[in-house]
A and B are shown apart, each in its own frame.
Chain A
Amino acid sequence: MSRRIASLLFYLGSGSCFDVDTFLWPPDDHFILFKQDFMTQDADRPTSSPSCPLPGGGTRRRDVLSTVIVGAGCVGACALAYPFLDSLNGTKNTTLGEDDSIDVDIAALRPGQQLVVTWRGWPVFIQRRTPEMLASLKATDIVQHLRDPDSKILQQPKDAMNWHRSVVPEIGVLIGICTHLGCVPSYATPSANDKAGKYSCPCHGSQFDAAGRVYKEAPAPYNLPVPPVTMLSATQLRIGQSKGDPAFSIASIQQI
């Protein structure tokens, strides 16, 4: 008898079936617990809650309380997790508002050559274009192979939304990161065979023309990004500020 009572009280106490209204404390003398019973419970412990006698049926107060406590605990755990996970976002906003533009002297750059500088940690290609390169940018037989020949997709400031994708036709400036999966395309300098010059990505074969416009036959979806550029003089340019499109933010482009 006492074993049955002990297991019943255990059952009540273990949370699967318990009514706060019947919770007597100190317990009645008949409710005797055996320490040994706690250790060797499994044989006679009821295992399913449907056998639990319900005074009035319906939801038990303890079930409601348990659910509320577990729910509140989960909310608390999520709130606690927030600062830790948020800290993984790091310091991305620290440079916001700071002037990170750079000035580049291109006096030594000869037609057909390319200069690579670093801006915001990205490789930036600066090319001085030959007349043949400029002519190739306007050639209709090339244009029909391009995904976005008129630079309709936002990959450049407004003052570079033109046939040569730059502020002045002779100087091209591109961020050298393939829009497929981020490798740096290599520059094929204009040669006797191909006077136009082009970019091809070593990773997955994407092709771009001299103005960074992407060819349809390869995986890259967008033209190479053009950074904001201001021509300070014929031999001096500033990357990071655009005189023709002052509101332009490099963060707003379709894809870097």
Chain B
Amino acid sequence: MSKPDTTPSGWLETRLPIVSAFRREYVDFAMPRNLTYLWNFGAFATIALALLIVSGIFLALNYTPSVAEAFNSIEMIDRHVSSGWLVRAIHMGGVSMLFAALYVHMARSLYYGSYKAPRELLWLTGLGLFILVMIAAFAGYILPWGQMSYWGATVVINAMNAVPLIGPALASWLLGGEGLGSVALHRIYVLHFVTGFSIVGVIVLHVAALHVVGSNNPTGVEPKASDDVVPFHPYYTTKDGLGLCLFLMVYAALIFFVPDLLTLANNYAMANPLVTPGDITPEWYFAPFYAILRAVPSKLGGLILSAGSLAVLFAVPWLDRSRVKSARYRPMLRWAILGLFLTFIALGVAGMHKPTGLWLAISRVSVAYYYAYFLILLPLLPKIEVTRPLPASLRGESV
């Protein structure tokens, strides 16, 4: 089994078995043979995060976290630092690519029941990651100290203040006893990269949990026979590799051809505490939660429903009472979950429009359905739903 201590690889193996551990987890690792390209998005998110961290480190070298200098230092990066425009475009585009990958990754988990036993911790660590990514993204958006940065931060800090008991204390710790100024900006800067690096740590937990329970698959049936699985390499290294090429092509197109597609012009005006821009819209990845906040005609109620839309996801493994994992074999849930995806997208679109008339109505109906899906349909559908027969093995499933 183990090589003699005299060879260099044997010497390393007896002291730190990283080579065999890597082979076990990333070469020989048994994967269901029928994973679709929807199983690529975890790898996409990892690559996007890696690029965010690298580009973030290089941006940090040129960024100054003070009210007087923050905006100018970003302009300096965009206009004067060698290749600075590209590094910043990689960082800004990376956020959108990361969120896009995460939304598909989570939707896939919901559709195929990847959150169910024995993968509850995988789901929970993933949700923890998503919240950390949201914090990092929001903190990062404040750093350029443009108009949207400033007023977005103002709104969220006031929202924090509205949270009973802990809210004012949290807001005070963030602001450092002053208003939104240099002290707060410096803290938000530190918060931004501390959450960024924390995400890496939680990813380690997330992947460790994945390697204990193994990947789910489109049938939701656990692989039992030996021919239900294939080794990770070369089957999924190539499949992930092909997907990554396409992912990076979209990413590159975003950076090089439409760098302004997902940014707001208002944020290229320096923060002005005397004037709120007439048209406040969030980044697209926050739009659904922003729409929920505005759909509720109550300050605390909006906050509760907006935060609750994330909190309810933590309970999903226990809200879903069905023994069948995959929506493929659940004819009623299949339609219900398509409705969930549509309402979430509708909330996103509504979040980018003014909350009046039709958009407000759409927001309210969508919020109602969003909660109904998790709190009513998930627990109660199994009582009336007739599921389709599950395959005995993954043998007949296409790869």
Contact = CB atoms under 8 A, between A and B. Distances in A.
B29 A38 contact: yes
A38 B28 contact: yes
B6 to A, nearest CB: 16
Interface in B212-233: 223, 226-227, 229-231, 233
Interface string B56-94: 001001100000000000001100111110110010000
A88 B231 contact: no
Nearest to B248: A76
B82 A87 contact: yes
Contact of A41 (B28, B62, B84, B234): B28
B80 A94 contact: yes
B87 A13 contact: no
A83 B90 contact: yes
A237 to B, nearest CB: 31
A184 interface: no
B24 interface: yes
B253 to A, nearest CB: 15
A150 to B, nearest CB: 39
B223 to A, nearest CB: 8
Given A14-B233, A83-B83, A84-B54, A91 B76 contact: yes
How many B residues are at the interface, by size bracket?
20 to 34
Contacts of A38: 28-30, 229, 231
Given A10-B28, A43-B1, A83-B90, A90 B62 contact: yes
How many A residues are at the interface, by size bracket?
20 to 34
A89 interface: yes
A219 interface: no
Interface string A205-247: 0000000000000000000000000000000000000000000
Contact of A90 (B24, B82, B223, B241): B82
A35 B80 contact: no
Given A87-B58, A90-B62, A15 B233 contact: yes
B399 interface: yes
Contacts of A6: 226
Nearest to A27: B227
B55 interface: yes
Given A42-B20, A84-B55, A33 B226 contact: yes
A83 B87 CA distance: 6
B235 interface: yes
Contacts of A90: 62, 81-82
Interface of B is mostly: helix
A75 interface: no
Given A14-B27, A32-B227, A91-B81, A84 B233 contact: no
Among B1, B24, B28, B81, the one with the most A-chain Cβ atoms within 10 Å of its Cβ is: B28
A33 B61 contact: no
A119 interface: no
A13 B226 contact: no
A141 interface: no
Contact of A86 (B28, B54, B83): B83
Contact of A87 (B1, B62, B233, B234): B62
Contacts of B81: 87, 90-91
B227 A33 contact: yes
Contact of A84 (B76, B87, B235): B87
Contacts of A13: 230-231, 233-235
A94 B77 CA distance: 11
A89 B82 CA distance: 6
Interface string A69-93: 1000000000000111011111111
A18 B226 CA distance: 21
A10 B1 contact: no
A37 B84 CA distance: 50
Interface in B1-60: 1, 20, 24, 27-30, 54-55, 58
A93 B1 CA distance: 60
Contacts of B229: 33, 35, 38
B237 to A, nearest CB: 9
Interface of B: 1, 20, 24, 27-30, 54-55, 58, 61-62, 76-77, 80-84, 86-87, 90, 223, 226-227, 229-231, 233-235, 241, 399
14 contacts: A15-B233, A25-B399, A32-B226, A38-B28, A38-B29, A41-B28, A42-B1, A82-B83, A83-B83, A83-B90, A87-B84, A88-B58, A90-B82, A92-B82
Given A39-B24, A41-B28, A84-B58, 14 more contacts: A15-B233, A35-B223, A37-B226, A39-B28, A69-B241, A83-B86, A84-B83, A86-B82, A87-B77, A87-B81, A87-B87, A90-B62, A91-B80, A93-B80
